[in-house]
């Protein structure tokens, strides 16, 4: 039995009719840009998250870029973030001409270690950009405490954490601004690219709305140089169908994770830890092992997909090698050597999970 990382075909078998109906309605309306579905999706996402404003944009990368700009980050500023993330986190900082300052991670959660923040703050620091990696929130209370005390903005990278909680509040509502991705494989995924910026700050939301539409509030009147970064109506209509199921999908991910963990506990394959301060939504189910490569090879031979997120931390990427030559991040580098993400999606069956565990455990015995 071949087992993929994600199974969007299974999703389409369940939702296809409803999605095709929504798409046909948009096609017949011929309203494709900033129409009723984008507006409704923004309202529904804001209500679901419990946040005042949600502004739809063209991708998660754009959400980060526009949010950083709207939050007042400028060229020459420093933004403290993690190197154990997807490159887009740092790209968005670079687009502004700001500089990412990488701090190490907490090995238990793989998220930015709040204890490393103070030492990284300089008089150029403007913002902190935590990533809620794999679907588990970073430890936001100490991050917010430091940010408030030092006058820094907090931009959350929620690309992997749609629906995750931190002490009873959803990610994307904890900092000054939250940035979501609707890349197809994310917990809430479109059938193409998409993203969302969330905030309780009226001025910040207004800035993102202006920036996503050519710096314009009124058509053909341009107050700043903006971008073309709009979510289209087709994607918004599809996302609305899927948003109705997000609680069930995330619950299924959590059940799948619990089944994996029950079977792997006590073995040389270390299951992910839940920090205990909120709901992990398992965008990825990521284990650790010193024999990661052997496990991955055995899985591949059995037709089971697995993936390494991320094999090279950002400060070791070719593009950053020269700029960060002197920087060592021991926990980040150890994680990059040891992590392995196993198949995880809302349609994963108990039989598939048992098979993955059987093959993985046999590889380390």
Please tell me the distance from the alpha carbon of residue 207 to that of residue 244, in angstroms, as a whole number: 29
Q: How far is the CB of 306 from ligand PLP (least distance, A)?
A: 17
**Subset of residues 117 to 136 that bind ligand PLP, contact rule: CB under 6 A:** 131
Q: Write the binding mask 154 to 193 for ligand PLP: x where contact by CB under 6 A, - elsewhere.
A: ---x-xx--------------------x-x---------x
Strand partners, 177: 155
Task: Figure out which of the listed residues 130, 189, 195, 278 binds ligand PLP, where binding follows CB under 6 A.
Answer: 195
Distance CA(242)–CA(240), nearest Å, equals: 5
Nearer to ligand PLP, 208 or 269 (CB): 208
**β-sheet bridge partners, residue 176:** none
Other residues' Cβ atoms within 10 Å of the Cβ of residue 318: 7
Quick one: which segment of 4-12, 84-92, 271-279, 293-301 binds ligand PLP (CB under 6 A)?
84-92
C-beta closer to ligand PLP: residue 88 or 287: 88
**Between residues 129 and 144, which has the closer beta carbon with respect to ligand PLP?**
129
Query: Among the candidate windows 8-16, 44-52, 152-160, 294-302, which touches ligand PLP by CB under 6 A?
Result: 152-160
Q: What residues from 269 to 328 belong to the interface with ligand PLP (CB under 6 A)?
A: none
Token output for 135: 């679907």
Nearer residue to ligand PLP within complex by CB, 183 or 357: 183
Nearest to 155 by CA among 236, 209, 108, 100: 100
Q: Which two tokens stand for residue 306?
A: 């697995």
Q: Determine which helix (DSSP H) or strand (DSSP E) holds 161, and give its type and residue range.
A: none
The token pair at 227 is 């971008």
From 80-88, 170-178, 310-318, 336-344, give the range in contact with ligand PLP by CB under 6 A: 80-88
How many Cβ atoms sit within 10 Å of the Cβ of residue 351?
10
Residue entry with tokens 């959660």: 109
Is 242 assigned a catalytic role? no
Q: For the CB of residue 265, give the shortest distance to ligand PLP in the complex, in Å.
A: 27
**176/193 with CB nearer ligand PLP:** 193
Residues 62, 322: Cα–Cα separation, whole Å: 26
Q: Is 265 helix (H, G, I), strand (E, B) or coil?
A: coil
Rounded CA gap, 65 and 208, in Å? Answer: 10
Who contacts 220 (Cβ-Cβ below 8 Å, separation ≥6)? none
Q: How many residues make contact with ligand PLP (CB under 6 A)?
A: 15
Span near ligand PLP by CB under 6 A; candidates 47-55, 85-93, 221-229, 352-360: 85-93
* Chain residue whose CB lies nearest ligand PLP: 60
**Active-site entry in 9, 21, 52, 186:** 186
> Cα-Cα-Cα-Cα dihedral of 266, 285, 54, 29, to 10°?
-150
Task: Tell me how far apart the 2 most distant CA atoms of the chain are, in Å.
Answer: 67
* Residue whose entry in the numeric block shows the structure tokens 């999703």: 11
Q: Which is nearer to ligand PLP, 63 or 152 (CB)?
A: 63
Q: Which of residues 18-77 bind ligand PLP (CB under 6 A)?
A: 59-61
Sole binder of ligand PLP in the list 89, 109, 111, 284 (CB under 6 A)? 89
Residues near ligand PLP (CB under 6 A): 59-61, 85-86, 88-89, 131, 157, 159-160, 181, 183, 193, 195
Catalogue the active-site residues.
186
């Amino acid at each position: 039995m071949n087992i993929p990382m994600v199974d969007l075909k299974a999703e389409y078998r369940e939702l296809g009719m409803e999605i095709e109906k929504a798409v046909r309605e948009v096609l017949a309306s011929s309203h494709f840009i900033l129409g009723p579905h984008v507006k409704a999706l923004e309202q529904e996402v804001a209500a679901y998250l419990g946040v005042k404003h949600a502004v739809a944009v063209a991708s998660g990368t754009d959400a980060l870029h526009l949010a950083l700009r709207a939050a007042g980050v400028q060229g020459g500023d420093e933004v403290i973030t993690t190197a154990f993330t997807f490159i887009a986190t740092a790209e968005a900082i670079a687009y502004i001409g700001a500089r990412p300052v990488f701090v190490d991670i907490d090995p238990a959660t793989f998220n930015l270690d709040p204890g490393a923040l103070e030492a990284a703050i300089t008089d150029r620091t403007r913002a902190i950009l935590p990533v809620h990696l794999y679907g588990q929130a970073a430890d936001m209370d100490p991050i917010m405490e430091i940010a408030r005390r030092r006058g820094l903005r907090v931009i959350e990278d929620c690309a992997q954490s749609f629906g995750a909680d931190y002490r009873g509040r959803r990610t994307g509502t904890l900092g000054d601004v939250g940035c979501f991705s609707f890349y197809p494989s994310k917990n809430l995924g479109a059938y193409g690219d998409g993203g969302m910026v969330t905030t309780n700050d009226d001025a910040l939301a207004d800035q993102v709305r202006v920036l996503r539409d050519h710096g314009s509030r009124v058509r053909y009147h341009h107050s700043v140089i903006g971008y073309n970064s709009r979510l289209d109506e087709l994607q918004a209509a599809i996302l609305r169908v899927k948003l109705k199921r997000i609680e069930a999908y995330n619950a299924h991910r959590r059940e799948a994770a619990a089944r994996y963990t029950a079977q792997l506990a006590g073995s040389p394959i270390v299951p992910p830890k839940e920090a205990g301060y909120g709901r992990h939504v398992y965008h990825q189910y990521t284990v650790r092992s010193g024999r990661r490569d052997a496990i991955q090879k055995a899985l591949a031979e059995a037709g089971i997909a697995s993936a390494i997120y991320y094999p090279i931390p950002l400060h070791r990427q070719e593009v950053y090698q020269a700029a960060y030559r002197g920087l060592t991040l021991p926990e980040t580098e150890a994680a990059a050597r040891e992590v392995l993400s196993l198949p995880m999606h809302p349609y994963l069956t108990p039989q598939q999970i048992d098979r993955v565990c059987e093959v993985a455990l046999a590889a380390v015995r």
